[in-house]
Structure 1
């Protein structure tokens, strides 16, 4: 099973347990047929004038049922995921001790209050950051009680994670912040970090997305060329300290090598596609 026993990397066939692999093998003909047909149809359409309706894949129904079956298997499994953020050393120490908690208005206020207590910024600035947070808007319900991650590691220079690493406090602090002085302040607090986390999918609502990624990874072993199906996911329950495999911080070798040498065996299958 590799370095992390019982934990699945949705991008690595070597981490799939025997039951999961056996069920994928049993659907191998359908997965292979669907993916090859899908790619052939796409290439034919790209070479055409694209005015004809997209043809139906004859394997589509069986392929969907196979994914639904793999989804049920994934609901009982734990995957490795990644969270990109900027944190102080004190926050990192607390994370290692207490674990992960989904975002709420109260813990956002507590983060701001801790920086006031540490003398990093004033109560006035904390009040302004709190007032400007998206959690004070109609986005509160959609953002609250979730801790977001991504299924595949991402290079630290990637634009998708640039602001998460650049600005302290996450989107709760920087997302709607228009004051240049406060924007600058947030970039001077803490260090960029990548959290490596184990996530029981029973604590999320993303088992289907995990199944899509697993099926895609399996398909590549059959000679197919599917999308890697990277996906965002969240936990709506706290994750204790044992779920934090590592905190990678700016300047460390594995932080620098994220998604291009670390973790071992990871290859970004969509590059150059």
Structure 2
């Protein structure tokens, strides 16, 4: 069984990560900027976590069949075919009219999705849900993901309708950083800084990750929704 590294639990950190934080903790000042890629510290996630998986969380809003689909098939990285299939299945189960399906797909195609496509977005470090709950509110309260809902103003009929669909969902996943997609995995702030902040008990010991691969079903650990103790432990997230 592959070991899993959890930023929130130092007992899971492999020795290369422990040695990294010991080496740099004294020089990691309180005013360190949370930008850049830590080239100055020489942190390479693929090397430090080689042979291990990294725990992360994908936030979304799911229809009942989508929850079952993710558990069975995993999370597919974003592309036009995935959006088309998601909308078609929502229409097939009576959640979208054909007109609305076409309109949402056209909205996706009419905007530049280059910085969203070919990746799965997630967060590393569960304390993010308490430190910055506002950053997850729209993801959890509006169906379709940013690629669909981002183009509609808050008070439009489309936004109101998308908020009526689905259930807030935190998908717990394990990421294999040694896999490579069409681009590199990207962490913001850098993953090395996140380990340092967690070790030093600093605020904001979490980071966003753009994971450049699909996530197979065996790496889907759990889907947490309102009513589940793990979800309800974060009272500032959407409850419905």
- Shorter-chain-normalised TM-score: which range? 0.7 to 0.9
- In proportion to residue count, which structure has more helix? 1
- Secondary structure at 1:215 match in 2: helix
Q: How many matched pairs?
A: 221
Q: 2:91 aligns with which of 88, 107, 116?
A: 116
CA deviation after TM superposition for structure 1 residue 205, in Å: 2.1
Alignment check: 8 A CA contact 1:168 1:186 kept: yes
Structure 1 CA distance for aligned equivalents of residues 215 and 146 of structure 2: 20
Corresponding residue number in structure 2 for 1:68:
42
Segments of 5+ residues of structure 2 without an aligned counterpart are 32-37
Map of 1:38-187 to 2, 5 A cutoff? 38-39=29-30, 67-69=41-43, 71=45, 73-74=47-48, 76=50, 77-133=52-108, 135-137=109-111, 139-153=112-126, 154-155=128-129, 158-178=133-153, 180-187=156-163
Q: Does 1:7 align with 2:4?
A: yes
Residue 35 of structure 2 corresponds to none
Q: Which runs of 5+ in 1 are unaligned?
A: 43-62, 261-273
* Alpha-carbon displacement from aligned partner over 1:111-151 (angstroms, at most 9, x marks no partner): 11111111222111111111222x432x2222111110011
CA RMSD of aligned residues (A): 2.8
Distance 1:144 1:71, change over 3 A: closer
What is the alpha-carbon distance in structure 2 between the residues aligned to residue 186 and residue 68 of structure 1? 43
* Inter-partner Cα distance in structure 2 for 1:182 and 1:206: 31
Q: Distance between the aligned counterparts of 1:149 and 1:129, measured in 2?
A: 23
CA separation of 1:143 and 1:245: change in aligned 2, threshold 3 A: same
Please, what TM-score do these two structures have when normalized by structure 1?
0.71
User: 2:76–2:214: 8 Å Cα contact kept in structure 1?
Assistant: yes
- In the alignment, the residues of structure 2 paired with residue 240 and residue 196 of structure 1 have an alpha-carbon distance, to the nearest angstrom, of 12
**TM-score between both structures, scaled by the size of structure 2:** 0.80
Partner Cα distance (2:61, 2:140) in 1: 5
Highest Rg: 1 or 2?
1
Give the Cα separation in 1 of the matches to 2:226 and 2:119. 25
Contact persistence 1:132–1:173 (CA under 8 A): yes
CA deviation vs aligned residue, 1:149-197 (integer Å, no higher than 9, x gap): 0112233792111111111111122111247222111111111100111
Aligned residue for 1:189, secondary structure, equals coil
